[in-house]
Structure 1
Amino acid sequence: MTATIRDVARASGVHVSTVSRTFSAPHLVNAETRNRVLAVAEDLGYRPNRAARALTTGRTHNIGLIVADISNPFFPPLIKAAQAHARTRDYHVFVADTDEDPQVEEELIQTLTKQVDGVLLCSPRLSNRVIERLHADVPFVVVNRRIKGMPTILMDVAQGARLAIEHLTGLGHRRLALAAGPSGSWTSGQMREAAAAAAAASGAELVILGPNAPTEQGGLAVAAEVVASGATGVLTYNDLVAIGLIEGLYERGVRVPDDVSVVGVDDTLSGRLNRPKLTTVAMPTSAAGRIAVDLLLQSVGDGGTSTLTTLETRLVVRESTGEARS
């Protein structure tokens, strides 16, 4: 038979209300008592009734996690890390995909508001104004978008762009291109500013190509512009664009890295398996997922703060970059 809260209370030698508080408000229970109750609950296989607990505490113990494109290999490590970490905090995660559509994103947030205690917004496409309006109804933590007054996790893509441009100019490339991301992307804007500054500091030219879809098709489509630009070194919005670009260049008889060097962003599995293996900017996606959960639960618990956490990126050099031809 399934263990009940009364079974746990009897075996622990405490009142039923103490067992209830152990799961709904553990900070109100003495540590020694709490640990004893949790151990007994584990031995008996007791699981608290979430629906009943939600009625008592007003908490669902659910989190919404909204991503721009779940098929993009950038997002799964972040999702898995967030889910695993949330489970250790006795929370479940609902994952939703906007397919890069801001209207869908707004509809999903409005749908989830009554079913979750808070929402993680990863690379949102909505305007700041709309996000601030929706934030009045549910706590947010935003990943890879800076919004004043909101808890934020940033992966320092500007640092990554600088490292990539410095790597290319260090190999002798003097005419560079940035295959930018979609319009409205905060990340793409950060890359554009940092890449332009780094190129200027190195005495190199930088041409901006885009906006582009953040997919392999986006990379294929921009290949002709890269060739026409005369660039010998290219930084792309993400690994998917880089992989598509490499394919598009090969179709035009342009070899990577012999003729053109290509740098991606994200350090996804597909980039590591591609030929040539992709030089890329590694993004700390798993760490971002775990920290985002902690910030959101802090926000749910005490109203939170406008904490800004910036995570370092790093350049991983592989086979898709080489010295510029003299």
Structure 2
Amino acid sequence: MNSPKRTTIYDVAQEAGVAASTVSRALRNPRRVNAATREHVLRVAERLGYRPSPLATALQSGRTATVAMLVPDITNPHFFGTIRGAERRASAAGITFILSYTEESADNERNQIEHLARSVDGFILASSRMSDDGLLELAEEHNLALVNREVRGLPSAVVDSRVGSRQIVEHLASLGHRSLVYLSGPHQSWPAGERWRGLRGSARSLGIRATRLGPFPPRVVGGGAAADAVLVTGATAVVAHNDLLAIGVLRRLAERGVSVPEQISVVGYDDIFGADFCVPALTTLAGPQDEAGRSAVELLLENRSRSTTRTTDRRVMLPSHLVIRDSTGPAPA
């Protein structure tokens, strides 16, 4: 059951018969509004149950606001850049930054938001595992910005994995590969779906057979079963959901005596720290994760002049690029 819609500054303005800017001044800078108008606006706001946005109030009053970032796996190096970018931008704005992780669980995500709601003014959800409807419902009560997740009506900062996936397929096609397997991540993962759609569409246009397997845990430990599943297909190239899974695949292939890239090529996503240290060094899709974190904080800051809880649905799309290393090579004859 959806929560009742929160009263906005525009509702108060319409009921009071004044401009929204007049309501804002009456609530936040009362000396700029005559006493009669101020009292009228305050009575209407109280009757309608209006509550100002905590983030907007904090930023306008000079009080230190607090922003929380929730990530599904705090041990995944992929999130290090996003966290770093968000923390630096928050610090520059004088905002307290809190980090929490949800263990890949949509229920944990919702519970933590509800638990932190009284002390946090805005939430950044990185690779959220919640449903679209669940996020929209939460946005009625909380300031939200998404990273690497899109929901119509909510602000987001996203690295373009669709275009990046085409770069991967084009690279493999140039090496003579005619078949690839995509090792999918968690079924709740929005990037996993985007990556597969990009790979599948590009493979179809280039005449390459693409197969999807999984889901697999997006960690090194998931690479064993994933690699065994790939070998059954006979594909000459494998694209893993993320670098951790790809590194696990490399390890398992080495254990089974399968040479990379001579017998099979391996590609990952994210270009995490250490992707160039494994043997062979991993070909992977990179993106400006620091910038994604910074952009998410700025999306929350854009709400400082608004009094509605839900922020704009502006989307920041960031470019991706393929980093070619030793794990990809010509398709075997």
**Alignment TM-score, normalising by the size of structure 1:** 0.81
Q: Distance in 1 between matches of 2:258 and 2:223?
A: 14
Per the alignment, residue 114 of structure 1 pairs with 118
Q: Distance in 1 between matches of 2:90 and 2:74?
A: 19
Question: Contact 2:67/2:95 (CA < 8 Å) preserved in 1?
Answer: yes
Question: Contact 2:284/2:323 (CA < 8 Å) preserved in 1?
Answer: yes
Q: Distance in 2 between matches of 1:113 and 1:221?
A: 40
Of 242, 253, 260, 1:249 maps to: 253
Moved over 3 A (4+): 56-60
Q: How far did residue 235 of structure 1 move?
A: 0.9
Q: How far did residue 299 of structure 1 move?
A: 2.0
1:164-203 correspondence runs (5 A): 164-203=168-207
Map Cα deviations across residues 266-302 of structure 1 (whole Å, 9 max, x no partner). Answer: 0111212111111000021000011111111112442
Unaligned runs of 5+ in 2: 1-27, 33-56
Of 297, 302, 306, 2:313 maps to: 306
Question: Contact 1:117/1:300 (CA < 8 Å) preserved in 2?
Answer: no
Per the alignment, residue 162 of structure 1 pairs with 166
Question: Contact 2:147/2:156 (CA < 8 Å) preserved in 1?
Answer: yes
Question: Contact 2:264/2:332 (CA < 8 Å) preserved in 1?
Answer: no
Unaligned runs of 5+ in 1: 1-23, 29-52
Aligned CA-pair RMSD: 2.0
Per the alignment, residue 329 of structure 2 pairs with 322
Q: Secondary structure at the match of 1:192?
A: helix
Of 99, 103, 109, 1:105 maps to: 109
Q: Distance in 2 between matches of 1:179 and 1:61?
A: 41
Map Cα deviations across residues 45-78 of structure 1 (whole Å, 9 max, x no partner). Answer: xxxxxxxx96x94965110100110100000111
Q: Distance in 2 between matches of 1:299 and 1:144?
A: 20
Q: Distance in 2 between matches of 1:261 and 1:221?
A: 17
Question: Contact 1:178/1:236 (CA < 8 Å) preserved in 2?
Answer: yes
Q: Distance in 1 between matches of 2:305 and 2:223?
A: 43
Map Cα deviations across residues 143-200 of structure 1 (whole Å, 9 max, x no partner). Answer: 1111111111111111111111111111001111101111021111111111111111
Map Cα deviations across residues 105-140 of structure 1 (whole Å, 9 max, x no partner). Answer: 111111121111110010000111111111111110
The number of aligned residues is 277
1:219-230 correspondence runs (5 A): 219-230=223-234
Q: Distance in 2 between matches of 1:61 and 1:259?
A: 54
Question: Contact 1:59/1:117 (CA < 8 Å) preserved in 2?
Answer: no
Per the alignment, residue 260 of structure 1 pairs with 264
Question: Contact 2:64/2:94 (CA < 8 Å) preserved in 1?
Answer: no
Q: How far did residue 263 of structure 1 move?
A: 0.6
Question: Contact 1:152/1:306 (CA < 8 Å) preserved in 2?
Answer: yes
Q: Distance in 2 between matches of 1:80 and 1:70?
A: 12
Q: Secondary structure at the match of 1:178?
A: strand
1:208 aligns with 2:212: yes
Q: How far did residue 227 of structure 1 move?
A: 0.4
Q: How far did residue 220 of structure 1 move?
A: 1.7
Q: Secondary structure at the match of 1:183?
A: coil
Q: Distance in 2 between matches of 1:199 and 1:286?
A: 30
Per the alignment, residue 85 of structure 2 pairs with 81
1:66 aligns with 2:73: no
Question: Contact 1:161/1:191 (CA < 8 Å) preserved in 2?
Answer: yes
Amino acid across the alignment from 1:307 = R
Q: Distance in 1 between matches of 2:75 and 2:298?
A: 25
Q: Distance in 2 between matches of 1:120 and 1:59?
A: 20
Q: Secondary structure at the match of 2:275?
A: helix
Amino acid across the alignment from 1:269 = F
Q: Secondary structure at the match of 2:98?
A: strand
Q: Distance in 2 between matches of 1:90 and 1:162?
A: 40
Q: Distance in 2 between matches of 1:224 and 1:301?
A: 54
Q: Which has the higher contact order (CA 8 A, sep 6+)?
A: 2
